[in-house]
Structure 1
Amino acid sequence: MDKDICFSSAQNLAKAIHERELSVREVMEAHIKQIKRVNSQVNAIVSLNEEVALKEAAKADEALEAGKPVGPFHGLPIAIKDTHNAIGFPATSGSLALRDHYPSEDDLIVERLRSAGAIVIGKTNVPEFAAGAHTFNEVFGATRNPYDLGKTAGGSSGGAAAAVTCGMIPFADGSDMGGSLRYPACFNNVVGLRTSPGRIPLPKAALYSPLGVQGPIARSVDDAFFMMSVISGPDNRSPLSIEEPGEKFLEPVQPDLKGLRIAYSTDFGGILPVEPEVRSNLEEQVKVFQDLGCQVEEACPDLHEAEEVFQVLRAWEFELSYSEIFNRFRELIKPSVIWNIEKGRNLSGPDIGRAERLRTLLYNRMRAFFTQYDALILPVTQVAAFDVNLEYPVQISGVKMENYIDWMRSCYYISAVGNPSLSIPSGFTSGGTPLGLQIVGPHRADFEVLKIGRAFEHATGYGKMRPEIALGEKIN
């Protein structure tokens, strides 16, 4: 019964709660039991508060008993990414500098989740300041891949993705600057959507920057749609806010992709090194899209300027966002974050201006590309999940990586252009760790990207395979 609850879809759980087939307490107790059984091995959820969770569950059941109106997520447990503020829980960002930080208000995305009835039970683990696509920090330690405990779970939303794939929570919030939703989704065999800037309004220090966004992590595209219906929609606290309401994501999804024009590339038009197993995995998926009736051809826009755009604007935003903490607690911050902040401090006005000019060029190049194609299929990652004790891969197919984000180009090139991108399961390596492909869509085509992902998901079923550790089996 507990497994049925923990691996039920978020939509089915919500329906069962609303129709009184399950009490909120039953749902909460099942998930807490799963956390206690699995979390010590993967370290996905941190700052768990069982007492708060059960008290909130009791209140949620009382509201149903009284016939009060409730939200679509009523009674669903959720753990919030540790870079996001949730009242009653620490927001450490995985940094010793913030280990005792308790926020006085919820972030906007948390407001929306709570207003919809979700119950916050804890936080999910992150790399320090969400820097890097591998989750480890000095406060809570590393999050391990549930499919192979010796491998990374990805990052920065690594704790979120590991918790979702293990049935500890039905879905999770994540964020993505350089791949922080897409990498962990890929490495944990779940779905992660890098949304269009403004789709989920994001008040932040760099208020007008489209580089960092928030989005859902779920075990299925249908649950990603469900989550998007609540967390997306306009809010004037963000000037980039898209006016389209979240209810858009509740509209019926037509399964037919016949005639859709799909471009694909295994290596971004030959400019990125990609491990052979990753490359062959994507090539195998081409036939899936052909069988779905799509017109598929190998093509990729020229994205070589994305390197400079991302590196410069990321460094600028890091310095802007973390300079005060850096000035006070430099000795507590990991070297890679120090490097990124100092890089931002060394930028000149012309450096930033040139990056913006190049980003405009890339935007228009992508706009033109998507007049010819409806979607672009790319590998999420250039490498399979690597050793959990490494900070980052130092080389890919013989090409040296100069710093901790160089290996993340397959995601951050898309971040630089601002298009929506879905990471969706696409199979497994010979060693048994998950792989994924990213479906990139035109400007603001979040709904359409999810629609394509849903058809691929239903045709393949890759995302149905949960890790043995989460099902009560032992793995190495």
Structure 2
Amino acid sequence: MTTDTSLTKLTACAVVDLLQSGEVSPLDCLDALEARIAAVDSTVNALSILCFERAREHARWLMQRPLGERGRLAGLPVPIKDLTDVAGVRTTHGSPIFADFVPEASDILVQTLEAEGGLIYAKSNTPEFGAGGNTFNEVFGTTLNPWNTVLSAAGSSGGAAVALATGTAWVAQGSDLGGSLRNPASFCGVVGLRPSPGRVASTPGAKIDRLLSVNGPMGRTVEDTALLLDAMTGENPGDPISLPRTESFLAAARSGWRPARVAYSADLGITPVDPEVAAICRAAAQRYTELGAIVEEAHPDLSEAHDTFQVLRGMTFAVGHADLLQNHRDKMKPEVIWNIEQGLNYSMADVVRAENQRATLFRRMNVFFDSYDLLLCPATIVAAYPAGERYVSECAGHSFSNYVEWLAIAYAITLTASPALSLPCGFTRDGRPVGLQIVGRTRAEGRVLAGARVLEDILGLRGTTPIDPQSPRAVNLPS
């Protein structure tokens, strides 16, 4: 098999099975992806940087090893978000400041994936420094939603989600602070999992004990996502919060575990939600009753989430980018400048309050999971919006005070350190995908994946992607 792009329609698990049996080679996979990218990516702009020569060099080295010694991915290609360093490959962070930067060393995460037989062949597009829920930047432009190419792919892992949805990736790495894995997964009809902090080791930045931003897996199916998580996990001394590998998440996803009692909340008590999105997610949540589960309307008290997140996010941006603001302000988008300046302007009293509130939110969520196996809610409060709009400024009659407030249904979960997965659960009347957020207790990724896998069976949406990009058509966005 060489450039037969039908290979790109298979699940990642199926392709890994073929790789492990020797029926296809890593080079076959790269050929298929290169042909598929040539056919569709110019329409959606998902993969901003290609490095096939490097990937083929790694493939040839891997193919010298016995089939059973090629790692969990066995030569499966993986794109890396353009915030994460890959040695010898241009890494821009979506910023003109780093437009020509080529790192000498790879991030710990990339090293881990390559040790498990992953082949890095592309960098996926992201907004500048991953800031914002819409994937556009001054270096590579805008990534478009393949379900309707006038719409946003969300962000900041928008390029990764679109690559999955269009068949230019089988799995993809992303990162998530305020929903950056979950939002694009929801908008593009794929799966994105935000793991617990420390589950995926990565090279620390300026703040080494980070708990808000994590790396995680994305896939077209729950099993594919679990497969990639297995390849991403493991303790590394270069990351002081990294956790040891304790279980197979793919085995957990396939275990058949079913929740006995789940909670559903349309808004977590903190945000407006588009009524159609809320209805689609509620209907999907109710399908757990077909497994004998009790489904109740409930959520923990997350009322401090807005204040807590704004302060801690601002602090994170100030710690990571204050020097860039001082030296390159003219090259930064206004939203990034706002974030950094907010962080610099907060007082120690603000930080103390936010840290105490985060601890309270964590404790409340932990107590909540003494009563419920899973918490369900929309992954995003709207379906995809026009790509030309920088962010969602209004929903259900409520005007947001800043460019990240519309992401509260995701960032509230971030603050609790809970793993959370966006699962495709339906479509709006005009054909835009909607994701259901499935949340579990801290470090319970196995249960989140298992619970998502059994619901995925019921909903019957597996195999909806990959698709060819859809030409623009009239879209009536809900008010």
Compute the TM-score of the two structures, normalised by the length of structure 1: 0.95
Q: Does 1:394 align with 2:393?
A: yes
- Determine if contact 2:257/2:447 at 8 Å carries over to the other structure: no
Q: Does 1:145 align with 2:159?
A: no
* Residue identity (%): 39
- Determine if contact 1:228/1:246 at 8 Å carries over to the other structure: no
Which residue is equivalent to 1:15? 17
- Give the residue type in structure 2 aligned to 1:212: S
* Deviation (angstroms), 1:76: 1.4
* Deviation (angstroms), 1:13: 1.1
Structure 1 segment 57-456 matched on structure 2, within 5 A:
57-63=59-65, 69-202=69-202, 203-245=204-246, 247=248, 249-251=250-252, 253-257=254-258, 260-269=260-269, 271-456=270-455
How many Å separate the matches in 2 of 1:89 and 1:132? 24
- Give the residue type in structure 2 aligned to 1:276: P
How many Å separate the matches in 2 of 1:54 and 1:236? 29
How many Å separate the matches in 2 of 1:125 and 1:428? 25
* Deviation (angstroms), 1:467: 5.5
Deviation track 1:24-64 (CA, whole Å, cap 9, x = no partner) reads 22221111000111100000001113333344444444445
How many Å separate the matches in 1 of 2:241 and 2:253? 27
CA shift in 2, pair 1:430/1:13, >3 Å: same
- Give the residue type in structure 2 aligned to 1:157: S
How many Å separate the matches in 1 of 2:68 and 2:249? 26
* Deviation (angstroms), 1:173: 0.6
How many Å separate the matches in 2 of 1:242 and 1:55? 31
CA shift in 2, pair 1:376/1:461, >3 Å: same
* Deviation (angstroms), 1:250: 3.8
Q: What SS does the corresponding residue of 1:151 show, helix, strand or coil?
A: coil
* Deviation (angstroms), 1:10: 1.5
Is the deviation greater in 414-423 or in 46-55?
Answer: 46-55
**Structure 2, unpaired ranges of 5+:** 474-479
Q: What SS does the corresponding residue of 1:40 show, helix, strand or coil?
A: helix
* Deviation (angstroms), 1:253: 3.3
Deviation track 1:359-409 (CA, whole Å, cap 9, x = no partner) reads 111111111111111110010111110000010011111111121101111
Which residue is equivalent to 2:476? none
CA shift in 2, pair 1:248/1:52, >3 Å: closer
CA shift in 2, pair 1:420/1:252, >3 Å: closer
CA shift in 2, pair 1:251/1:48, >3 Å: same
**Structure 1, unpaired ranges of 5+:** none
Query: RMSD value over aligned CA atoms?
Result: 1.7
- Determine if contact 1:234/1:245 at 8 Å carries over to the other structure: no
Q: What SS does the corresponding residue of 2:7 show, helix, strand or coil?
A: helix
Q: What SS does the corresponding residue of 1:22 show, helix, strand or coil?
A: coil
How many Å separate the matches in 1 of 2:249 and 2:428? 36
- Determine if contact 2:199/2:242 at 8 Å carries over to the other structure: yes
- Determine if contact 2:252/2:446 at 8 Å carries over to the other structure: no
How many Å separate the matches in 2 of 1:252 and 1:129? 32
How many Å separate the matches in 1 of 2:406 and 2:465? 27
* Deviation (angstroms), 1:119: 1.3
How many Å separate the matches in 2 of 1:209 and 1:297? 33
- Determine if contact 2:167/2:466 at 8 Å carries over to the other structure: no
Deviation track 1:271-327 (CA, whole Å, cap 9, x = no partner) reads 311111111101211331111211111011110101111100000010001112222
How many Å separate the matches in 1 of 2:396 and 2:462? 27
CA shift in 2, pair 1:434/1:112, >3 Å: same
- Determine if contact 2:306/2:405 at 8 Å carries over to the other structure: no
How many Å separate the matches in 1 of 2:147 and 2:453? 23
Which residue is equivalent to 2:33? 31
- Determine if contact 2:249/2:445 at 8 Å carries over to the other structure: no
Q: 1:46 aligns with which of 48, 55, 61?
A: 48
- Give the residue type in structure 1 aligned to 2:133: A
CA shift in 2, pair 1:24/1:412, >3 Å: same
| Count of equivalent residues | 470
Is the deviation greater in 85-94 or in 233-242?
Answer: 233-242
Compute the TM-score of the two structures, normalised by the length of structure 2: 0.94
How many Å separate the matches in 2 of 1:139 and 1:436? 29
Is the deviation greater in 272-281 or in 8-17?
Answer: 8-17
How many Å separate the matches in 2 of 1:353 and 1:229? 36
* Deviation (angstroms), 1:246: 5.5
